Structure 1
């Protein structure tokens, strides 16, 4: 068996994830945090990764539960531990995988919050007038139009290289999870917003070249260390836009715009496989949640408006009683 020190397992595992699978930075950071927590718990038991048995992993999950951690957090931590030991087994660091038969906490299936078409229209309209100057307003419009037109993940949007926009203006090349590329069609409004922003962005970059300042490869450059608009800044920005739009900010996140893209497409008759491709889902089961969202919304509409439904009957009788007074 390989005798490298167990203390180096986390760094070896993360390096392999980055090199072989092209794991995103956020994914690697999450793995690192979860595995360091597990390592810290083991240290308090005077145990190391190479000595862990199935009982240890199960006791760690009980510990996580006692800490009051959400089911989703416990499930994610178990997943990280399982991935680590699968790696250790494949690399010969262990002759077995102590976590392979452990099942995690059952997750509560929560349907994503849904924004109506009218609410999205208000958000897009608000973006056109929100910002300190013309440059900010044009950029904000482009961000919102692209997000709703493509269903991109927020990390894909803010980190979009400008080179991805230089080809066919009707399509956008997106680099997704695991380094997988996909082409997504753009709506006319998104094309117009992007063309205007690129023109303004390129003028600004030309000025920087003339002043011998460094230029950016990103569509949405910023002075942040990443070189582009950060996920956190865009999250705050979309909340600010929702306030201006008169849409409940608790309903509005970059991810709910991604949900709106998928749900509205499905409601319009789009094929589930096509939506899966555009969202960059590896498994269609992930995409199928939008059919449940649509079914729930349709059920609400029936209960609200069908003449034989209890809700509609109450409303009708209330109206009759009021008319009779």
Structure 2
């Protein structure tokens, strides 16, 4: 029997909470801050630590992953980012927001678009790098009514090299959402007026409504441009009412949701790659990738749940045996 090499998995930082109790924006602990002492208290650090963080250089690790540059804060700064994210996640979100919200998921997000109408998929180019330090300052100064110097410090702490939201920031999703909420609200208002539905999942904006067409795409482009963002015109498109829709990793066809065919193909290929691995070859990444794809499929289609659980048990034994 071929012996496969399996490496142990590195520990990950704790996940952010999805709070049960939520409040209005004006009740957020970051709202209306007028001094640095207040800011330090709300961030749960000392004034000395705050001053040191403001002056710190090189507070990020940067690497390339799958063709994208990842900018992730180092532990002390990540703690601040996590605190900002936690406080903003406690603010009650509009109905159209589906990421980072309790009892909502990528599946329920896709499920909003099963109606037999055309859909618009809007892609914003480089969403986090396009959310500038000015966007962040404006949110804290104008929407959160913080003193301008406090807003400037918060923007500096939250942005990579005081330029834009970091691509790997734990706070980037929720903060980008609130920075651009005005634009998203305007989109949603028009969609509701047309008897449709809009959802936002991280940077995926999908609109399904009667009569959706190319002119609506142009209107969305203009609105996004006014927010100092750029819509990727190559990736943004209209999907016909009778066409297959792929939304946040879920396939929608004729009013039903399924796992994408690509997921099933990847499962088959990974099975083959693991089965044909050479003696002593490291298959750790393949085993984890296979389990990830099986879990994804099982979340969408419950008839695959037993298979995913069986493979998890089998993989767990393999990991323990090889450690």
Q: Structure 1-normalised TM-score?
A: 0.24
TM-score of the aligned structures, taking structure 2 as reference length: 0.24
Higher RCO (Cα < 8 Å, 6 or more apart): 2
Larger Rg: 1
Higher normalized helix content (fraction of residues): 1
